[in-house]
Structure 1
Amino acid sequence: MARRSTSGPDQAPVESIIIDTDVSTEMRGSFLEYAYSVIYSRALPDARDGLKPVHRRILFQMAEMGLRPDRGHVKSARVVGEVMGKLHPHGDGAIYDALVRMAQAFSLRLPLVDGHGNFGSLDDGPAAPRYTEARLAPAALVMTADLNEDVVDFVPNYDSQLTQPEVLPSALPNLLVNGASGIAVGMATNMPPHNLVEVVAAARHLIAHPDADLEALMRFVPGPDLPGGGKIVGLEGIREAYAGGRGSFRTRATARVENLTPRKKGIVVTELPYQVGPERVIEKIKDAVQAKKLQGISAVNDLTDRTNGLRLVIEVKNAFNPEAVLAQLYKLTPLEESFGINNVALVEGQPRTLGLRELLVVYVEHRLTVVRRRCEFRLAKHRDRAHLVEGLLIAIADIDEVIAVIRTSDDAESARARLMAVFDLSEAQAEYILELRLRRLTKFSRIDLEAERDELAREIESLEAILADEGLLRELVSDELARVATEHGTPRRTVLLEASGATATAQPGQARSRAGRGAEVPLEVADTPCRVLLSATGLLVRTADDAEPTRTGTRSAHDALHANVRATARGEVGAVTSRGRMLRLSVIEVPALPPTDAAPSLSGGVPVSEVLMLEAGERVVGLAGLDASSAPLALGTRTGQVKRVSADYPRRDSWDVISLKDDDEVVGASAAADEDEVVFLSSEAQLLHFPAALVRPQGRGAGGMAGIKLAEGATVISFTVVPASRAEDAVVVTVSGSSTALPGTAPGSAKVTPFALYPGKGRATGGVRAHRFVRGEDSLVLATVGPDPVRAVGSAGQAVELPELDERRDGSGRLLDAPVAGLG
């Protein structure tokens, strides 16, 4: 509708046009444009490199500024200014917040920015950008590598004056490793971090087996690996998220009961759930105590420092059971939090909810495209250079004639044309010869050019082979991922628990004291017979009765049995460590299995480090009864020593059971009667067994006697005791590999052989060969001898299938599907 209007008698009429638009149509169109902008340009990460646009622009601009890890830091304000001025005109606050998160080790499993200064904590924000400095972290170089080789498409920046990468090459699976979070319009993403070594292993398996299903991939990626460690309780929600992209799990702090003083116990928290800070926990505890919801706590002290890390000490009143108080803390405070997984990411510009397999497929396809484009770029560059080198060799061979042609030419154009005609050169070759410096005309230059020509020919042939063979391309991508895992991978920090175990209720107990002891266990806990079990991954659990674990009773889907000892619920057992110490362990501190559980799950246990005070690098190698009527304890060391100790132990919390040399450690410990067989297995695959009666019992301070004769450089990797009653059905399991491989990256090969095939030898002899190494193998990495069936498990307790029984005593093994972390 058009209207004519005037603003005054002396002014010309002004004509205006008013367009009628339906408000619902306008709102719908504007809202969709806004939603698309938020989803695509701000809130959701790309499934290929796992980055939102702001993070991608920060890393790209820092790479353009040359802020490498081997150079000095620069002010964060400078980085923010460069990014905002050239690529991201959305405000310095948003840019700095994104920069800070990429530098926080408690936010990312593998930080991409190396920050210098106060970059904040879980309870406090960072300093202003003018006070902090930053540069790229080593992992960021992997993200931005090969950008100058046309591996990704570049798009214009906001004002079309510069260009920026549409996606980064991302030689590491950043989205799974570091996770992501963001709120878009009508959708959100929330992805937990994972372990780089595990994700790379799954990606390499998918490259080798494109049809691999989710179960096969979860053998490599059993669950998230959070930056702060802690525990994940309940894996069903993780399986749902890996299958459909959505699920949830509970994260729990790592806490243990300690003696703060001779008569007072406390709960020491060393790891908190993801994104939970100590100040928040303290505040919630105080609120719950004041509201009388939480009882039994006398004080809370935050002793965290940079040297020892997180240490939150919760003092427990003497009349209360610390385990029951801890259960209430898990229930009422952020010591246990829920994490909701929502794997929403952009795939070809569209938001999609992705499971684990889909995330890996998108990433692998991205890397295949990047490496293919890189090979094509390098092939073209090498061909161009080879073409110019051929021209130079022609010119040097007839240099006098070349100079004559150039000197007799009127100008550069005619010289170029005559060179092309006389020597049958291309225009590019002729132009390159015209620009040739005189110092390139020596005989040594000719030799260098011929060597360069041959090298270019070899590289061109290699690149053409890769581009022509999809298998070679996949192998190259897999090898590059393996190098990234080797250079940047770290061990798993988060413990995965299938079930939470028994829970207790915080309630006052009768205050009974004993010299040197803390609060007594509540009377409701009966002193019934039970067994304490130690799993192959270091978890402790106790059974509801003292029945011998059977073949079906311990064969669960998670973890394997390493040792077991008979005890009572309120009694004590001994834990033998690699340092030759025996630690007194209170059975009540070990989680109990439900009485009706017919198939015990070792995943319901607690890590030994939470109930025992172990030194750095010390580990538990066996369990023993403290009853004087028990059979002597047999120990084997890494250097081949053997010892038997009579069960006559002092009333102390810890004591030595063997005197070790500085370079030695205990590799195995178990009760051994005279008629039992003690078995050594060395890294060079030698097996020796002989009757325990050949080892006379010694005092605790003795260093033992020679057990097996080792070759130079060899060590004992397994020491076990085979009871006389189980010798007939015992098997020998050996896992071989390379001594130079990163632990947990190479599956290795395994062999299962009847124990009866190996003849017994005398003590201090070399034994017989138990495993033949094949190409790429030089040592045994794991071995054990025990009743059939022996189980193999991965680092998270997941089962790894072993080969069928092999009657060849010294045969080679069969390649495993996944790395093995323990046998039991």
Structure 2
Amino acid sequence: GIYDAYRTGRGKIVIRGKIIKEVNSKGKVSLVITEIPYKENKTKLIESIADLIKNGKLDGVRDLRDETDKDGIRIVLELKSREERDAEIISNNLFKRTRLEVSYSMIFLALVNGIPKTMGLRTILMHFIEHRKDIVIRRTKYLLRKAEERAHVLEGLKIALANIDEVVEIIKKAKDVNDARTKLMERFLLSQIQAQAILDMRLQKITSLEVRKLEEEYLELIQKIAYYKSILNSESLVLQIIKEELNELGDKFDIPRKTQIIDKVKELNELDLIQEEDMIITITNRGFIKRVPESIYKTQRRGGKGLSALSTVEEDFVRKLFLASTHDMLLMFTNKGRVYALNTLDIPERSRTARGSSVANILTLDRDEYLCDYIPIKGFNEEEFLVFATRRGTIKKTRLSEYANINKRGLIAINIRENDHLVSVINTRGGQSIMLYTRKAMAVRINVDSFREQGRATQGVKGITLGKDDYVISAEGVTDHDTLLFMSEKGFSKRTRVNDFKIQNRGGKGLIAMKLTPKTGLLAGALVVSEGDDIFGITQKGQIVRVKLDEIKIQGRSTMGVKFISLQEDDLLKDISRCMEK
């Protein structure tokens, strides 16, 4: 922007209007535009804002008024909400979608010795200083010449006044002016200019007062001549004069700056223009994905039957359910160990019962490849790690920063062994422990620092020894103070403290996490939860139930829990997710 223009002579700057926030005595919030960019038309700006409101792009605005008067511009947008974030989003939309923010291109073009050149500010200032030096020197030479010419005349007048009687006698006896001039030059060794000045002098100049004035003028000229010569002999004195003259200009035109120059204007993206909202994302076995506002699903009491999350077709069911914000960037992992980067907004929003869109329309997946887990991130921090867990109990730890350059075709996140696939990915900074959960409700707790860091395209190490026909269904990062929630496929649930699971060496068989019976069915999922959370459960037939965590009791490891959701006879719980307390 302005730095490029000052450095190279070319650049583009962003000019923004000014928006202030006002709250009246009744608590109503308004955004007031008090300044608009240079050359922008206020009426057209108001019309464009009105169009945004009409088209639903600024649905948080209750009223739009023009209160501009002699005191200045005042365009008032009265808001529906009092939330700080809502006001910020509306401001962002005004900057992004109207001429309240505009760009201006800059080019510093000037003539240098008659040749047009594009220059940066430093070069321009150097040429300007050279120009001012030339001006000061030429001006000083002119003043010196004039002072010396006048001093020369005054020296002749002084000689004449000192010999006034003789001068008068010479003039009286002269035949004409030329004769008088010649005789004066010969007698007093005067120049023609001095002699002519004597002839042109009026008689009043011979009074004592005029003689004194003439003497004072001469002495003053002698001082000026010395000063002018010192300027011409000293570059530092020339520069000092330039500084003083610039300071005088600054004092003369000392008008406060109206435009504020800030270091950098944040470039607005799509996330800055929308309200942050929690979304439930569902992925079906046949590869259909969608997002639905979390608020659609009301909290039910334990044992509720839930709402339909989608209309499933024959042989399709919900494979994965998770909660994400509309402002999240998601790392989406597939069963084959590949990773894709996706914004929540890139996932199509659909109705509660809609099937969704095919993942193939969003990501490039193989025919037998599907999404198995996700990680919401804000950036690729060097200190963070991803821990991977596969169905057959393999774990791997890799730095998050190794996944920073993900293209549209994805990136290998982990090399998967034959007859295995990825089930879970954990984001951790180290110092934590992780839990691996199996379908038969076995769980092993492993310290993250107990196994080494590996590169991106590696297979990992053994995390758990599995029993017959058992497999890992998920994994999670935990701390000593966490509480775990376990859900069985037939709707039973319980909470258990993490400290009930001692830390073991990787590769062990683990401990019983939940007592399973034909009544409970196998383990459907396990989560770290906190007081105040809401829990979502989704069934094979697409029903979603939302209950408060407080309704689920804390029990020991080897217990079966209580009924969480009433399922149809041929339906099973497939996945669970949490909604954190706001």
TM-score (norm 2): 0.45
Higher strand proportion: 2
Larger relative CO (CA 8 A, sep 6+): 1 or 2? 2
TM-score (norm 1): 0.32
Question: Highest CA radius of gyration, 1 or 2?
Answer: 2
